[in-house]
Amino acid sequence: MNPDLAPASRSTVAWMLVIDTILITLFAIAGIASHDGNLDLLSIGRVAIPFLLPYLALTVLIKPARLIHNIFPVGVALWLATVVLGPILRALLFGDTSALPFILVTAGVLAVLLLGRRSISTLVTRRRQRA
């Protein structure tokens, strides 16, 4: 936990969850578009939901008011769990397989998006607390 940051308000936690949801959905859209797939809601949901479910469920379980900005170890653990559980849920929910290149790209893109968001929100929060 980052001792420099005060607990986040409920509205901040809600906004960070909305932003993370949007980022994971954008990851799904970019993946579908890069393979010339159909960008309808069903296709986007089919790719995004297996990653959204573990990320949001685990985030709620980790005391998000204290840890919504935390990069290490919580942010990294959430990212890894999402990368591991996402393909498993794709297979269980939709029968979709995940080749190793998909998992590697997923790991890289979600690291940039989810850990990057945490880095930015930490910097913004620190700046606001100093002002």
Kindly write down the DSSP assignment for every residue of 11-74, as one continuous string. HHHHHHHHHHHHHHHHHHHHHHHHTT---SHHHHHHHHHHHHHHHHHHHHHT-HHHHTT--TTH
Can you give the residue range of the structural domain that contains 25? 10-130
Q: What is the mean pLDDT of residues 48-56?
A: 96
Domain presence at residue 15: yes
Domain presence at residue 77: yes
Q: What is the mean pLDDT of residues 68-76?
A: 90
Q: What is the mean pLDDT of residues 37-56?
A: 95
- Exposure string of 55-83, with b = 16+ CB inside 10 Å and e = fewer, is bbeebeeeebebbbbbbeebbeebbeebb
Domain presence at residue 47: yes
| CA-based nearest residue to 58, from 17, 94, 22 | 17
In the chain, % of residues over pLDDT 70: 96
Q: What is the mean pLDDT of residues 8-17?
A: 92
Domain presence at residue 1: no
Domain presence at residue 2: no
Q: What is the mean pLDDT of residues 4-23?
A: 89
Domain presence at residue 83: yes
Tell me how many domains the chain contains.
1
Domain presence at residue 84: yes
Domain presence at residue 94: yes
